[in-house]
Amino acid sequence: MSNKLLVVNDLKVYFSVRDRQQKFWEKPHQLKAVNGINLQLKQGEVLGIVGESGCGKSTLARALIGLVSSTDGKIIWMGKEINPNDQRMMNIVRKDMQMIFQDPLASLNPRMTVGDIIAEPLKTHHKHLSKAEIKGRVEAIMAKVGLLPNLINRYPHEFSGGQCQRIGIARALILEPKVIICDEPVSALDVSIQAQVINLLKSLQKEMDLSLIFIAHDLAVVKHISDRVMVMYLGNVVEEGSKYEVYHNTRHPYTKALMSAVPIADPDASKNNQIIYLMGDLPSPIHPPSGCVFRTRCPSVMEKCSEIKPNLEFVNEDSMHQVACLLEK
């Protein structure tokens, strides 16, 4: 039996967008937020997804769990194809696939107590449990994420940002899922609190044998927690491989630019670090560049880059490292 929990084939998420100059009878533009993504997630694995704002990371995460509708592609969950647009089917899948959101306070209902927030998934998926059983499970998971059980009757506004994120983690873990999708779970927190939450997620992942899809801007954070790394740009995957391959054998010009911007603690090493500055802004996903989507900002652009869209291909036969760049041809 395969240990692949989640397999995604050619997933696309397009949105219809009208600009102010369009007439009502004209066909709307298509915003290609996710444009043909393939990924695999194994039992107990952590897949890190990085890329700048607007590259489609969060849209991909929401499409996987059915919070936004996918336009095309296949999602195979535990060997069975699922339809993320079928809410009845996704209600069953969500027992094993949960999500932690970026803004900890905004993701919690301000009118519900912490106990009710954490218990809500149990009340939805395990209606046979008694009130005492639910309370016992809630208090146990609160203790596991570092929250005192006597805080069970307090409201979200009484907690700090880091504590609110711990509440969100507890809510995601209460059903003992197989996969948790973490959508930039530490970007809204202070640096010291970020480290605490990351270490908590890492320890819980090992203890409960969880599979994580971890989305972040900070490459240092992704390196710390991930087994494999996927780099996205304008709705496309430009590089993917093991943590070691992506960080120490970087191949795509975009990934190299991201790596060069990572702060280095060693003053001597930082002197030799040459930052690669990308010219211009991220192109519009409504009107993406022809050929390679990165060509308008690439320092190594060639004439053929405007004509040919590179496919994600393996660097060599002995590696799982993949890159989508014509420089590799």
CA angle 38, 319, 43 (to 5 degrees): 55
What pLDDT, on the 0 to 100 scale, is given for residue 268?
65
What pLDDT, on the 0 to 100 scale, is given for residue 269?
62
pLDDT digits (tens, 9 = 90+) for 214-271: 999 888 889 889 999 999 999 999 999 999 999 999 999 999 999 888 777 666 666 6
Tell me which DSSP letter residue 310 carries. Answer: P
Strands 236-242 and 313-314: unpaired
What pLDDT, on the 0 to 100 scale, is given for residue 265?
65
- Mean pLDDT, rounded, of the chain: 89
Q: Is 111 left (phi over 0), alpha (psi -120 to 50) or beta?
A: alpha
Residues 38-49, mean pLDDT to the nearest whole number = 94
What pLDDT, on the 0 to 100 scale, is given for residue 1?
39
Quote the CA–CA distance of 207 and 271 in Å, as a whole number. 40
Q: HSE of 85 in the Cβ direction (CA atoms, 13 Å)? A: 9
- Residue 28 tokens read as 């709307």
Quote the CA–CA distance of 174 and 206 in Å, as a whole number. 16
Domain range summary for the chain, segments of one domain joined by +: 4-96+177-238
Contact 143/149 with Cβ under 8 angstroms?
yes
Cα end-to-end distance, the chain, whole Å: 36
Of how many residues is the chain composed? 329
Contact 279/298 with Cβ under 8 angstroms?
no
pTM, two decimal places = 0.91
Quote the CA–CA distance of 76 and 304 in Å, as a whole number. 35
What pLDDT, on the 0 to 100 scale, is given for residue 188?
77
Quote the CA–CA distance of 258 and 90 in Å, as a whole number. 35
120-124, 148-152, 314-318: range with lowest mean pLDDT? 314-318
Q: Band of the pLDDT at 2, cuts 50, 70, 90?
A: low
Name the burial class of residue 15, with classes exposed (0-12), middle (13-18) and buried (19+) by CB atoms within 10 angstroms of its CB: middle
CA 163 from centroid of its chain's CA atoms: 21
pLDDT at 103 over 90: no
Considering only residues 5 and 276, tell me which one the structure prediction assigns the higher pLDDT. 5
Sheet hosting strand 236-242, strand order edge to edge: 97-100, 179-183, 211-216, 46-50, 228-233, 236-242, 322-323, 313-314
CA angle 185, 226, 169 (to 5 degrees): 30
Contact 184/217 with Cβ under 8 angstroms?
yes
What pLDDT, on the 0 to 100 scale, is given for residue 215?
94
2-6, 135-139, 200-204: range with lowest mean pLDDT? 2-6
Q: What is the CATH number of domain 4-96+177-238?
A: 3.40.50.300
Considering only residues 142 and 22, tell me which one the structure prediction assigns the higher pLDDT. 142
What pLDDT, on the 0 to 100 scale, is given for residue 267?
67
Tell me which DSSP letter residue 128 carries. Answer: T
Query: 16: which strand partners?
Result: 30
What pLDDT, on the 0 to 100 scale, is given for residue 266?
63
